[in-house]
Amino acid sequence: MRFPEDVPVLSDNVVTLRAHTADDIDPAYRMCQDPVMQEWTTIPVPYLREHAVGYLTEVIPAGWQANTSWAWAIEYAGAYVGTIDLRDGVGGVGEVGFAVSPEVRGNGVMTRALRLVVRYAFDVLDWKRVIWRAYVGNFASRRVAWKVGFRGLVTIPGGGQSRGVRKDEWVATVGRDDELEPQGNWWTVPVLEGDGFRLRPLRESDAQRVMEACSDERTQHWLSGMPSPYGLDDAKGFIDSRQDAAAGGEAVAWAIADAESDELLGNVSVFGLNGRMDRTRGEIGYWMHPEARGRKVMTSAVQLLIAFAFRPVEDGGLGRRRLLVRCADVNTASAHVAEVNGFTKVGDERAADPRRDGSYDNLLTYDLLAEDVLRG
Ligand SMILES: CC(C)(COP(=O)(O)OP(=O)(O)OC[C@H]1O[C@@H](n2cnc3c(N)ncnc32)[C@H](O)[C@@H]1OP(=O)(O)O)[C@@H](O)C(=O)NCCC(=O)NCCS
């Protein structure tokens, strides 16, 4: 194997992967100054020009020559914009790593590059499986991997390390016989405008209000699975976990926010969207900040959610067929939200809803079918 002559050129006519050259050193060095790049990868910090020289002129050629790692320069619109590499491969399983310059992100460059490289791993290197790893929170990388068909995502606490510090890591893989297409839904959380309020994605700055709402006595009473006491870290963890749940296709959660101040008034979500037996159902959950209760905001918020949930996926909705609400039979405020929104009481389970004092309430189940709404 001679470098660079024998490095195969891979192209889909938009993105071309080729051997690195000395001209790539400066743009690679500049790319590695990007704080996003430094946060999500293992590159040295501070990143010096000599690091780029060593990587491009020694590490990469040595990998090709030893048949232990395979790195390509990514060319897009006539310029070097990043690097993608395969490594390991022992026993037909190896890893992929990638990065692209900030100026071209969001144009589908890495999705194209990754598809080319995964095909190369299976078709030329004869691999059986490619592994993708990223630090938890790197949603741009996760989305690229999802688009190319990586699946079975798991989180490994402390599984990654960055400059001597352990970090939680996501791992997903794609196998030789798998389709290189997205598996499952990655929900985006739209803004839905209501009368005097809007449903919008939760954000970090909501944490204080989330904490107030969730440490409230009534919220704590009815939602007995919530941490108690409920602190600011619980609120932050909840907000982060909702982004993860949406990306994994599991749930969509909104902040109910005041139309003028945008302050959080409550939370409404639909979860259980990945049901193993039935992927057309969803369960609605909610809580309201104590200051915002009693104004029928939740009733209207659920009404907005219902329309969105029943809209087909092709039209930007959640493609649900059946929605559920569950609440304790003595939780009249909650049952009321379901009833005025046209839900039918279909279940009354005895002593099924645990309270914190060790007692149990009966648990009501309400459902609403898409056809109920169509019938009006
Ligand atoms: C990860 C990275 C390579 C993606 O490159 P890219 O060329 O922008 O990728 P693509 O344009 O093909 O796809 C990115 C997708 O992520 C989405 N995305 C970006 N940031 C996101 C975020 N914070 N949350 C959710 N999605 C996000 C984009 O909208 C796009 O999806 P879309 O096309 O459906 O809209 C680039 O962000 C990068 O170089 N990051 C720093 C290095 C890095 O993290 N490498 C991976 C280490 S595991």
Residue 278 inside a domain? The answer is yes
Nearest protein Cα to ligand 1, atom 21: 140
Residue 5 inside a domain? The answer is no
Coil, strand, or helix at residue 42?
A: coil
> In angstroms, what is the span from residue 145 Cα to ligand 1's centroid?
9
- Give the angle subtended at the CA of 296 by the CAs of 293 and 297, to the nearest 5°: 75
Nearest protein Cα to ligand 1, atom 28: 106
Cα–Cα separations (whole angstroms), residue 363 to 3, 134, 310, 354, 357: 68, 41, 25, 9, 16
> In angstroms, what is the span from residue 213 Cα to ligand 1's centroid?
34
Average pLDDT of the chain is: 97
- Asked if residue 325 and residue 202 are part of one domain, the reply reads yes
CB-based pocket (< 6 A), ligand 1: 36-37, 40-41, 98-100, 105-111, 134, 138-141, 143-144
CB atoms within 10 A of CB 141: 21
Range of the domain at 361: 192-375
What is the predicted pLDDT for the residue at 71?
A: 98
pTM over 0.85: yes
What is the predicted pLDDT for the residue at 275?
A: 85
Nearest protein Cα to ligand 1, atom 43: 99
Q: For a substitution probing ligand 1, which of 32, 111, 118 has the most ligand atoms within 8 Å of its CB?
A: 111
Per-residue pLDDT of 334-370, as tens digits, reads: 999 999 999 999 999 999 999 999 999 999 999 999 9
> In angstroms, what is the span from residue 243 Cα to ligand 1's centroid?
15
- Asked if residue 158 and residue 43 are part of one domain, the reply reads yes
What CATH number corresponds to the domain at position 333?
3.40.630.30
> In angstroms, what is the span from residue 140 Cα to ligand 1's centroid?
3
Widest distance between CA atoms in the chain = 76
What is the predicted pLDDT for the residue at 376?
A: 66
- Asked if residue 274 and residue 168 are part of one domain, the reply reads no
> In angstroms, what is the span from residue 334 Cα to ligand 1's centroid?
40
- Asked if residue 252 and residue 156 are part of one domain, the reply reads no
Q: Which residues of the chain have pLDDT under 50?
A: none
Residue 49 inside a domain? The answer is yes
> In angstroms, what is the span from residue 143 Cα to ligand 1's centroid?
6
Per-residue pLDDT of 90-128, as tens digits, reads: 999 999 999 999 999 999 999 999 999 999 999 999 999
What is the predicted pLDDT for the residue at 104?
A: 97
- Asked if residue 158 and residue 20 are part of one domain, the reply reads yes
Residue 200: strand pairing partners: 255
User: Could you identify the atom of ligand 1 that is nearest to the CA of residue 37?
Assistant: 41
